[in-house]
Amino acid sequence: MRKYLLKIFSVKENRSFNGQEIYPGLNGAKGLLILMVVITHCLPQSMALYFLFFFHMPLFMSISGFLLKESAFKNGLYEYLKRVVKRLVVPWTIAWFVYLPIALKGRPLTSISINDVTHPYYHLWYIPGYIMGALVCYCIYKRKITAWLTLVLTATITVLWYMVYRDKTNIDKLPLYWLGDKRFYGYVFFFVTGYCVRNKLVQLRFSPALLLTAIVCSLGIITFCIFTQQNDLIACIPYMVFNFSLALLVLFYVAPKNLLQNKILHYINEQSLGVYLYHPLVIHIIFYLLNDEQMQHISNFMGIGIGLITIIAVLFFVRLAKKSNIAGKYILGYVKR
């Protein structure tokens, strides 16, 4: 029995390919983070929800930037963007139309404006944010701006986002709303951090003990700041330290190791684009059937259960879609290698 379980839940160690570095730890880490994203979108307002929001997207964006190699730009920006359009923009556009009836919230089609593109259905911010981060990294690649200066500038933008938009209501009344979803800018620092680490553009090597100490201490400070309602600038400092330290810990000490080698997590990671694009549709259907579209009558335990049902349903959908070359190519951005 034990051998059978190990066979199901383990993955063979990854080897280097043609002398190039590979990072087996990121396969499981990304799968776990995607699972967290799905569950997070099923949870009611609670400390558990706040804690997951606190770190899962900064870490995910750091990994996304880390996976972007300088060689992706070797044929120029135009060729890079052509690949991005096929792989990401076309599936994103189709998903945008799928979610449009939900996003309009009863508004007529004639009311559609540029804001419906710059502020798409809540989860669709990620791909525009990814492209924005990649364009910033291209500027670093072309040496139009140095890596360190870019990190300082993007960190400043992230701090400003945190101070202006964190836990605010009526954000459409706040400054710079017309520039697009705040998350386009709020996580770009972490994306650039991952890119700079992967391509060795900055020296940021710290011991795991130091990073763990920074993570624990900053988490304690941010908890204190939240419960005592400290000024946003004061609260932002441990937020940045926590997520920066966590990103470096994962990128330096988890990525090269055979950690989180689990077939289920690997499979979720492999289907990440389809899961990302369509899990909110499953969630919407489930809560519609429960007659609780505002998620006001569920507990954390129920939310986790709904999240697990959602991940199973959306993986089944992705599996079916990939059986069609057209659906796989245009809906899921699937490219056979």
Q: pLDDT averaged over the chain?
A: 86
Contact predicate 137/193, CB 8 Å? no
pTM (2 d.p.): 0.88
| Angstrom distance (rounded) from CA 156 to CA 176 | 15
Contact predicate 234/43, CB 8 Å? no
Residue 214 has pLDDT above 70, yes or no: yes
Residue 12 has pLDDT above 50, yes or no: no
Contact predicate 307/38, CB 8 Å? yes
| Angstrom distance (rounded) from CA 55 to CA 36 | 11
| Angstrom distance (rounded) from CA 58 to CA 42 | 19
Residue 240 has pLDDT above 50, yes or no: yes
292 versus 282: which is more confidently predicted?
282
Q: What is the pLDDT of residues 78-100, one digit of tens each?
A: 999 999 999 999 999 999 999 99
Full DSSP string of 112-129: --THHHHS-SGGGGHHHH
Q: Strand pairing partners for 20? A: 17
Nearest to 157 by CA among 128, 183, 126, 121: 183
Q: What is the pLDDT of residues 145-192, one digit of tens each?
A: 889 999 999 999 988 887 777 666 676 777 677 788 888 888 999 999
| Angstrom distance (rounded) from CA 197 to CA 139 | 16
How long is the chain? 337
Nearest to 190 by CA among 38, 57, 332, 310: 57
Joined tokens for residue 327: 């659906």
In the chain, what are the domain boundaries?
44-259, 263-337
Q: 48-57, 58-67, 214-223 — which is least confidently predicted?
A: 48-57
Name the residue type at position 58. Answer: P
Residue 10 has pLDDT above 70, yes or no: no
Residue 68 has pLDDT above 90, yes or no: yes
Nearest to 40 by CA among 21, 55, 25: 55
Burial class (CB in 10 A: 0-12, 13-18, 19+), 118: middle
pLDDT of residue 17: 35
pLDDT of residue 4: 37
Mean pLDDT calculated for residue range 245-260: 92
Residue 286 has pLDDT above 90, yes or no: yes
pLDDT above 70 covers a percentage of the chain that reads 91
